[in-house]
Amino acid sequence: MKYLLIAIVAAFLFVPFLGAVHLFDWDEINFAEAAREMIVSGNYTQVQIDFQPFWEKPPLFIWMQVISMHLFGVNEFAARFPNAIIGIATLLVLFGIGKKLIDDRFGFWWALIYAGSWLPHFYFKSGIIDPTFNFFIFLAVYYAYRISYNDKPSRMAILSGIFLGLAVLTKGPAAIIIAVLTLMVYWIYKKGKTNISFLHILWITLFASLTTLLWFGYEILTHGWEFVNQFVIYQVRLFTTPDAGHGGPFFYHWIVLLVGCFPASIFLFTYLQGRKKSIYLTQSLELKDFRIWMWVLFWVVLLLFSIVKTKIVHYSSLCYFPLSYLAATQVYRILEGKLRLRGWNISLMLFIGIVLGIAIALLPLVGVYKAQLIPMIGDQFAKANLQADVNWSVWETGFGIAYVLLVIISGVLLFRHKVQAGMLCLFTSTIIAIQITVVHFVPKVEKYSQAAAIEYFESFIGKDVYVKALGYHSYAHLFYTRKQPSTNPNYRNEDWLLNGPVDKPAYFICRITDSESYRNHPNLELIGEKNGFVFFKRK
């Protein structure tokens, strides 16, 4: 009954309004477009973009989106629905593992803390690949941990290998790197004193290989080594060079986790307090060991992606599992009276929560007073974005103010040692704030960032024309024009589209900051401008 209740609540949180806003360029549209092209081409074994081999990702998540699109049509809801299902499964798994480790109450708090933190919740309402990848990796690590405490350890090793293989089929060899590093660091920390034997490692390796070979093996046998070679080259480039302009400082992901995983991240700081050994002496060996696994997984992922040159917000999202567990452990101890929140813990919580609430409150004011703000902005594209016709009113600041007040109420309750009430207020108010942000604010913000471009692309659905983005990289023109395969091999050549003997009408889009050279191009006719995007037609 408890599992059914959690599944119903999770479905209520993650499924509604999935199609309320367009897919965002790049990642969301990238994966959705690959799924759409599988359906159009009938080629379900190779990932394609613009009907050309796409070397960057294996197909498992794309297959999930394909199934969803067959059920719901080619649209935003279908593209995001697989992660909503993964979100439901995640909360059920967290509750189940938490119940097994300690009790029902701990399982409930772990699920609530995960769902009640900003980015962990938000990603289940997205169409990116990472929530599914993280789910499989976490299960692979969990079953590796269970090898030492189950009466059928080989079965645990097999399950670990299968989930590791599924993770590889979802995102690639990053799964193997994370798994191997986690196991190595754990082994070093334990000084080799672990019940995971060489035979268990062989079982994990065997079943991970068998799982991945279901597709990699088929690909090699059918199409040769080209895909695998290109795939490996891309993964090496991803780890060694900033990709697609996504560079950043070493501490980039540390800040992302602190702010993005609020409020859960706050409770990690309680580990900085002088720890009483008595807290840990009462724990079972099994529970202590799981805590070690979670710390190891957390630091392996955080440090690995801090070192990796490419910095994208969701690269550290696997940290959400160990972070939420460690936070839940501290919350549970606080509720049990075994640990006390210090004043500085609550003050940090208030600071970050109030800043987030103020940011939400300021969004409507930017829209209401944009005429006064535009002259102060130096970026021409941002200025033009703000010209979008979006209806805002001052009263909408009340959403952010309400969140600030609820965070303050939570802080007051915690200062007064009304711990359970304070915790429930903090995490449930964050869930409500996330829902309001996704449903009310994100569609409005999207009108500034990309809606004009999406509307332009959608105007070409069903028309036999070429559509090309100039000066910037995008997948939106593929998905939102519902592009079909072309028999003309020149259509991907920008110079041919601009200057060659085109065989059908060609339309173009660029950002206003890149438009000057195209405005003066002899073969282009300016046909419109909107919110920072400039539209051309080939003469």
**CA dist., res. 271 & res. 327, Å (int):** 9
pLDDT of residue 492: 85
User: 199-232: string of b/e by CB count within 10 Å (b at 16+)?
Assistant: ebbebbeebbeebbeebbeebeeeeeeebeeebe
Q: Are 169 and 58 in contact (CB under 8 A)?
A: yes
Kindly report the backbone phi and psi dihedral angles of residue 122, in degrees, each rounded to the nearest multiple of 5, phi listed first: -60, -35
Q: Any residues with CB less than 8 A from the CB of 113 and at least 6 apart, and which?
A: 263, 264, 324, 327, 328, 331, 427
Q: Which helix (H) or strand (E) holds 529?
A: strand 524-530
Q: Any residues with CB less than 8 A from the CB of 193 and at least 6 apart, and which?
A: none
**CA dist., res. 499 & res. 508, Å (int):** 13
Kindly report the backbone phi and psi dihedral angles of residue 462, in degrees, each rounded to the nearest multiple of 5, phi listed first: 85, 0
Q: Are 458 and 480 in contact (CB under 8 A)?
A: yes
DSSP H helices, 308-340, are 320-335
Cα dist. 60→93, 214, 252, 476 in Å? Answer: 21, 11, 29, 22
Beta strands in 434-493, from DSSP E residues, in sequence order = 466-469
pLDDT of residue 240: 63
Among all chains, which residue has been given the structure tokens 């999406």?
454
Q: Which helix (H) or strand (E) holds 183?
A: helix 174-189
Cα 29 versus chain centre, distance: 13
Q: Any residues with CB less than 8 A from the CB of 191 and at least 6 apart, and which?
A: none
pLDDT of residue 276: 55
Cα 331 versus chain centre, distance: 25
Q: Are 138 and 185 in contact (CB under 8 A)?
A: no
Determine if the pTM surpasses 0.85: yes
Question: Domain coordinates of the chain in residue numbers?
Answer: 1-127, 343-445, 454-538
| Selection from 491, 484, 492 nearest residue 37 by Cα | 484
Around 13, how many Cα atoms within 13 Å sit in the side-chain half-sphere? 32
Beta strands in 18-155, from DSSP E residues, in sequence order = 48-49, 52-53
Q: 375 preceded by cis ω (within 30°)? A: no
Q: What is the pLDDT along the chain (539 residues), one digit of tens a residue?
A: 899 999 999 999 999 999 999 999 888 999 999 999 999 999 998 899 999 988 788 999 999 999 999 999 999 999 999 999 999 999 999 999 999 999 999 999 999 999 999 999 999 999 999 999 999 999 999 999 999 999 999 999 999 999 999 999 999 888 999 999 999 999 999 988 888 999 999 999 999 999 999 988 888 888 777 777 777 777 666 666 665 556 678 888 999 999 999 999 999 998 877 555 555 545 688 999 999 999 999 999 999 999 887 778 888 999 999 999 999 999 999 999 889 999 999 999 999 999 999 999 999 999 999 888 888 888 899 999 999 999 999 999 999 999 999 999 999 999 999 999 999 999 999 999 999 999 999 999 999 999 999 999 999 999 999 999 999 999 999 999 999 998 888 888 999 999 999 999 999 999 999 999 999 999 999 999 999 999 999 98
